[in-house]
């Protein structure tokens, strides 16, 4: 498979704290990479560096073989090609669901309204929310809002999609409906980097799982090896925090 994203020796610090330490990663087109790790290990910072929300001090990021980490102008191009969905859906409260989704493609990408709306309706239908198109965010559940946020990212036609703990704030029964959408995106061959604490989901969706600690990749592997046969003591201990024994 063809490489779509390459990170070389990325480092990021906040004042004197080093958050990402010389991290390198290559992601293939259509690959789903799940990133797990303890709170504060740099998962969000890493994703934010990838789509240009954080400036990086050292290292390079290549998308489709093109260097994207060098200047501000490139950064905004990157942000269009690398979509991101966050834990907080950040929908505009005074705009309808359809308006929330079509705003960026119409204003940023200068696409025709009719064409964008048609695509938005198709995507809403796909995530089971066509009937909500004229509702406002406050009229939707958390899980519904997060599915809208996914549609809002998809309509920008990103080459890579970054998902940062998108179900962390949801009630358990809503987690499933959101993760099912993500599973369907994986099946259709979307390239995704996913940060999650849902280990069963991670095992199902991932082509590769990465354990991040202290801004470094401590261990990585295919999901079965990673979860059933962890090599480092650190990963063993981390995985134990997700299992219960009486």
Long-range contacts, 102-105 (Cβ 8 Å, 24+): 102/155, 104/152, 104/155, 104/156, 105/155, 105/156
> Binding residues for ligand ADP, per CB under 6 A?
14, 19, 37, 39-45
What's the alpha-carbon Rg for the chain, to the nearest Å? 18
Residue 189 contacts which entry, Mg ion, ligand ADP, none (Cβ below 5-8 A, type-dependent)? none
> Minimum distance from CB of 164 to Mg ion (Å)?
6
Token pair, residue 4, equals 């779509």
Bridge-based pairing state of the strands 3-14 and 17-28: antiparallel
Q: Which of 12, 36, 44, 155 binds Mg ion (CB under 5 A)?
A: 44
Which C-beta is closer to ligand ADP: that of 19 or that of 192?
Answer: 19
Residue with tokens 């010389």: 22
> Minimum distance from CB of 60 to ligand ADP (Å)?
20
Helix residue spans in the chain (DSSP H): 43-50, 72-81, 97-107, 113-126, 142-154, 172-187, 199-205, 223-228, 233-240
> Minimum distance from CB of 26 to ligand ADP (Å)?
21
Which C-beta is closer to ligand ADP: that of 43 or that of 147?
Answer: 43
Q: For the chain, report the end-to-end CA distance as a whole number of angstroms.
A: 45
Q: How far is CA 88 from the centre of its chain?
A: 13
Measure the CA–CA gap between 183 and 165, rounded to whole angstroms: 15
> Minimum distance from CB of 163 to ligand ADP (Å)?
12
Residue 45 contacts which entry, ligand ADP, Mg ion, none (Cβ below 5-8 A, type-dependent)? ligand ADP
> Minimum distance from CB of 163 to Mg ion (Å)?
11
> Minimum distance from CB of 39 to ligand ADP (Å)?
4
Question: Strands, E, within 30-99: which ranges?
Answer: 32-36, 58-63, 66-67, 82-85
Which C-beta is closer to Mg ion: that of 165 or that of 220?
Answer: 165
Q: Report in angstroms the alpha-carbon separations of 124 from 94, 117, 136, 155.
A: 19, 10, 14, 10
Is 144 near Mg ion (CB under 5 A)? Answer: no
Residue 146 contacts which entry, ligand ADP, Mg ion, none (Cβ below 5-8 A, type-dependent)? none
Which C-beta is closer to ligand ADP: that of 39 or that of 107?
Answer: 39
Residue 119 · residue 155 · CB < 8 Å: yes
Residue 41 contacts which entry, ligand ADP, Mg ion, none (Cβ below 5-8 A, type-dependent)? ligand ADP
Phi first, then psi, for residue 167 (nearest 5°) are -110, 5
> Minimum distance from CB of 238 to ligand ADP (Å)?
12
Residue 39 contacts which entry, ligand ADP, Mg ion, none (Cβ below 5-8 A, type-dependent)? ligand ADP
Residue 137 contacts which entry, Mg ion, ligand ADP, none (Cβ below 5-8 A, type-dependent)? none
Binding site for Mg ion (CB under 5 A): 43-44
């Amino acid at each position: 498979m063809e490489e779509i994203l390459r990170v070389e020796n990325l480092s990021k610090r906040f004042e004197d704290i080093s958050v990402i330490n010389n991290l390198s990663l290559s992601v293939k087109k259509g690959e789903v990479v799940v990133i797990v790790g303890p709170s504060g290990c740099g998962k969000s910072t890493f994703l934010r560096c990838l789509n240009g929300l954080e400036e990086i001090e050292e290292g390079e990021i290549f998308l489709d073989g093109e260097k994207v980490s060098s200047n501000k102008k490139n950064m905004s191009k990157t942000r269009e090609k690398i979509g991101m969905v966050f834990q907080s859906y950040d929908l505009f409260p005074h705009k309808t669901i359809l308006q929330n989704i079509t705003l960026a493609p119409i204003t940023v990408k200068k696409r025709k309204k009719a064409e964008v709306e048609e695509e938005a309706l198709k995507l809403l239908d796909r995530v089971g929310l066509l009937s909500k198109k004229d509702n406002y965010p406050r009229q939707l559940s958390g899980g519904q809002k997060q599915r809208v946020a996914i549609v809002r990212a998809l309509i920008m036609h990103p080459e890579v999609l970054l998902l940062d703990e998108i179900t962390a704030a949801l009630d358990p029964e809503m987690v499933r409906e959101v993760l099912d959408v993500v599973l369907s995106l994986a099946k259709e061959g979307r390239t995704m980097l996913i940060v999650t604490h849902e280990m069963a989901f991670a095992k199902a969706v991932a082509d590769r799982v990465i354990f991040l600690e202290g801004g470094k990749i401590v261990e990585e592997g295919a999901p079965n090896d990673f979860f059933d046969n962890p090599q480092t003591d650190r990963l063993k201990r981390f995985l134990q925090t997700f299992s219960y024994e009486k």
